[in-house]
């Protein structure tokens, strides 16, 4: 009898402790931001931005979440964090079984999505390879670079749970519970945001938008129509950058005036590395910026959730901020090698990238 009472007490205490641990999050002064399937390069970039106070949030803690079936290495991320002694990055594994048929419904990851959402203040979806076309009911273009399908299934389903989807009333979006929750998407992250909410993609910008089949013809375009550096496709110069710098047009003037202190006449340069682009727009998604010719979506926001924001470009690369990063060139004929940071400053658009992280920091700062 005594053993039974003791066991009952232990079970009760463990249950009470678990409830207390879940609720105690809301009493902490930490700001928790989820990083979804981040590779080492992205961890290095966000650590650099945080250490240099470019991301300026008091008591910030990142939770790097890895889907156990995804193709981004948890072990490499763990090794990087441990070797560099980064105490504000915690790592977590999430298990489950996701297929093309259960992404946009309750599934084995639903409870994990709910728990992550309830115990965080915001989330970042980062860059990567192309989304499987089957996720938006298209055939797969031969030019599509689909190398991480399990990663995409996890992130598509997570964003579906967060934001909802066109024509879908089966599940209440998590952000209905906390409409001010921050969801940031960068490059692939923005594309995933759009597809998860019912949109689709151009699978290759040069061929689908400009009707071009050959690299040489793309290189003949105005540089503001090139969204990655195609010189790398036909030249072996190891100093060539894989990224492209081009201008964007701010179409949502009120948003950028309010949050970035920019006017409709501002056309900042950004750093891009992609060949796909948003086509059909997802549920409650608003286009906030485009390429100069209006053909490529460069930024989106949400109609109702004020802190949901996605960009097609990369404001997070540490090379854009670190004056001591590798010097590169954009074309084989460039005589001078510069860091991406130097290039961005020379183009007069480094402050725009700082404004992005000022906005991010302001959204996530606790009163």
Decide if pLDDT at 20 tops 50: no
DSSP string covering 259-314: HH---TT---EEEE--S-EE-S--TTEEEEEEETTS-SEEEEEESS-TTEEEESS-
Among the listed ranges 11-25, 187-201, 300-314, which one has the minimum average pLDDT value?
Answer: 11-25
Which residues touch 293 (CB under 8 Å, ≥6 apart)?
224, 225
Residue 89 covered by a domain: yes
Residue carrying structure tokens 């097609």: 312
Mean pLDDT computed over 110-118: 98
CB distance 135 to 156 below 8 Å: yes
Give the CA angle between residues 207, 211, 213 to the nearest 5°: 55
Residue 338, beta-bridge partner list: 328
Better-predicted residue by pLDDT, 24 or 251? 251
Is 57 part of any domain? yes
- 6 pLDDT band, cuts 50/70/90, is very low
Tell the residue number behind the tokens 């419904």, with chain if given: 105
Q: pLDDT of 261-301, one tens digit each?
A: 999 899 999 999 999 999 999 999 999 999 999 999 999 99
The residue assigned the tokens 């992280």 is: 357
Would residue 263 count as lying in a domain?
A: no
Residue 56 has pLDDT above 50, yes or no: yes
Does 16 fall in a domain?
no
State the pTM of this model.
Answer: 0.92
Note whether residue 178 is domain-resident: yes
What mean pLDDT comes out for the span 74-86?
Answer: 98
Number of domains in the chain: 1
DSSP 131: P
pLDDT value for 133? 98
Find the range with the poorest average confidence among 58-72, 162-176, 323-337.
162-176
Nearest partner of 226 among 203, 242, 250, judged by Cα: 242
Asked if residue 50 belongs to a domain, the reply is: yes
- pLDDT score, position 14: 40
pLDDT above 80 for 25: no
Of 11-20, 22-31, 123-132, 262-271, which range is least confident?
Answer: 11-20
Angle made by CA atoms 266, 269, 273, in degrees to the nearest 5: 140
pLDDT confidence of residue 17: 38
pLDDT of res. 170: 80
Task: Give the pLDDT confidence score for residue 168 in this predicted structure.
Answer: 83
Query: Helices marked H in the chain — which ranges?
Result: 2-24, 40-51, 74-83, 110-118, 149-163, 188-196, 205-208, 215-219, 253-260, 340-346, 350-364
Ramachandran angles phi, psi of 266, nearest 5°: -75, 130
Cβ-Cβ contacts under 8 Å for 96 (sequence gap 6 or more): 67, 68, 69, 107, 108, 109, 112, 154
Q: Tell me if 186 sits within 8 A of 127, measured CB to CB.
A: yes
CATH of residue 105's domain is 3.40.50.880
Establish if 306 belongs to a structural domain: yes
Q: Which of 128, 182, 175, 173 is nearest to 155 (CA)?
A: 128
pLDDT band for position 166 (50/70/90)? confident
Residue 219 falls inside a structural domain: no
**In terms of residue numbers, what domain contains 87?**
29-204+249-257+272-318+350-364
Is 364:31 a contact under the CB 8 Å cutoff? yes
Residues 6+ apart with CB under 8 A from 62: 32, 33, 34, 35, 46, 88, 89, 90
On average, the pLDDT of the chain sits at: 93
Q: Is the pLDDT confidence value at 38 over 90?
A: yes
The confidence band for 169, taking pLDDT boundaries of 50, 70 and 90, is confident
The pLDDT-based confidence of 250 (bands split at 50, 70, 90) is: very high
Say yes or no to pLDDT of 16 above 80: no
d(CA 231, CA 39): 25
Mean pLDDT, residues 34-58 taken together: 98
């Amino acid at each position: 009898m005594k053993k039974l009472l003791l066991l009952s007490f232990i079970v009760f205490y463990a249950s009470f402790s678990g409830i207390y641990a879940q609720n105690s999050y809301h009493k902490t002064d930490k700001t928790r931001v989820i990083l979804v399937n981040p590779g080492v390069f992205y961890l290095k970039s966000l650590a650099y931005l945080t250490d240099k106070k470019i991301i300026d949030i008091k008591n910030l803690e990142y939770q790097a979440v890895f889907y156990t079936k995804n193709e981004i290495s948890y072990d490499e991320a763990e090794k990087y964090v441990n070797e560099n002694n980064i105490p504000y990055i915690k790592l977590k594994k999430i298990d489950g079984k996701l297929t093309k048929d259960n992404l946009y419904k309750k599934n084995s990851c639903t409870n994990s999505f709910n728990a992550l959402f309830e115990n965080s203040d915001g989330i970042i979806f980062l860059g990567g390879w192309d989304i499987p076309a089957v996720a938006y009911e298209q055939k797969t273009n031969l030019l599509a670079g689909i190398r991480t399908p399990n990663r995409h299934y996890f992130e598509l389903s997570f964003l579906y749970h967060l934001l909802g989807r066109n024509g879908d009333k089966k599940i209440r979006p998590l952000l209905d519970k906390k409409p001010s929750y921050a969801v940031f998407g960068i490059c692939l992250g923005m594309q995933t945001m759009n597809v998860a909410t019912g949109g689709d993609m151009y699978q290759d910008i040069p061929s689908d938008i400009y009707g071009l089949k050959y690299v040489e013809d793309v290189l003949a375009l105005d540089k503001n129509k090139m969204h990655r550096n195609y010189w790398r496709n036909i030249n072996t110069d190891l100093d060539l950058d894989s990224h492209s710098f081009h201008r964007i047009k701010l179409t949502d003037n009120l948003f950028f005036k309010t949050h970035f202190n920019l006017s409709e006449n501002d056309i900042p340069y950004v750093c891009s590395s992609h060949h796909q682009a948003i086509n059909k727009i997802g549920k409650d998604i608003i286009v906030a910026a485009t390429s100069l010719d209006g053909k490529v979506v460069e930024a989106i926001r949400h109609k109702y959730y004020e802190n949901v924001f996605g960009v097609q470009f990369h404001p997070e690369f540490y090379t854009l901020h670190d004056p001591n990063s590798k010097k590169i060139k954009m074309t084989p004929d460039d005589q001078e090698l510069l860091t991406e940071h130097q290039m961005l400053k020379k183009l007069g658009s480094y402050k725009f990238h700082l404004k992005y992280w000022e906005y991010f920091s302001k959204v996530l700062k606790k009163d």
